[in-house]
Amino acid sequence: MILVILTETALFTIFVVAYLFYIGKSLSGPYPRDVLHFPWLGSILLFGSSGTIVAAEHHLKRGSLRDFHLWWGITFAAGVGFLFWTANEWVHLIYHERLTISTNLFGSTFYSLVGLHASHVLVGAFLLGLILVMSVTGRIQDRHHEHITMISWYWHFVDCVWAVVITVVYIISANS
């Protein structure tokens, strides 16, 4: 998992550098400051899910499957909620603000970076849901706990990337 995270970090770094390189180079609008709003709800859902996944792991280590299911389920729900928030933002940007991937450089880099992140959240949510179903149906055993820890690491990675995306997309470019 460490190698996966390092590889994904390199990939995200390329996308972030491209986004930063093209800030302010769109010749036509809309521009970030005109259409972006700080992602409060999405951020609360995603950052909060780092806390809930830690709680889930804690209960798994203590052998409390009922509490593990609860906290893991909340983490899954927060991840799905983030994806719905992202979809809602995109619908607004595409249909109300007329920002598409082909509108300008901002649209191209925005959807590429935020879409890359959303695809990673989708993979993480799938893994969270899979573990939840397998655990609730009694198919998770002690030997699987390390796999659950690795999924948790991946989820924390996705959260860390979101902190970078917020900084670059919603703070730096929206204020430039």
pLDDT at 176 over 80: no
Query: Which residues, at least 6 apart from 70, have a Cβ–Cβ distance to it below 8 Å?
Result: 56, 59
Q: pLDDT for 72-88, tens place per residue?
A: 999 999 999 999 999 99
Distance of CA 102 to the CA centre of its chain: 23
Instruction: Give the span between the Cα atoms of 153 and 20, in whole angstroms.
Output: 27
Closest C-alpha among 174, 37, 47 to residue 121? 47
Instruction: Give the span between the Cα atoms of 17 and 168, in whole angstroms.
Output: 10
Q: pLDDT for 140-159, tens place per residue?
A: 887 779 999 999 999 999 99
Residue with structure tokens 């849901």?
Answer: 129
Please, what sign has the CA dihedral across residues 93, 78, 156, 142?
Answer: negative
Domains (range + CATH), the chain:
39-175 (1.20.120.80)
Instruction: Give the span between the Cα atoms of 47 and 25, in whole angstroms.
Output: 31
pTM of the entire predicted model: 0.95
Instruction: Give the span between the Cα atoms of 150 and 170, in whole angstroms.
Output: 29
Distance of CA 43 to the CA centre of its chain: 9
Q: Where are the alpha helices (DSSP H) in 23-104?
A: 32-35, 40-62, 65-91
Closest C-alpha among 116, 115, 75 to residue 94? 115
Q: pLDDT for 85-126, tens place per residue?
A: 999 999 999 999 999 999 999 999 999 999 999 999 999 999
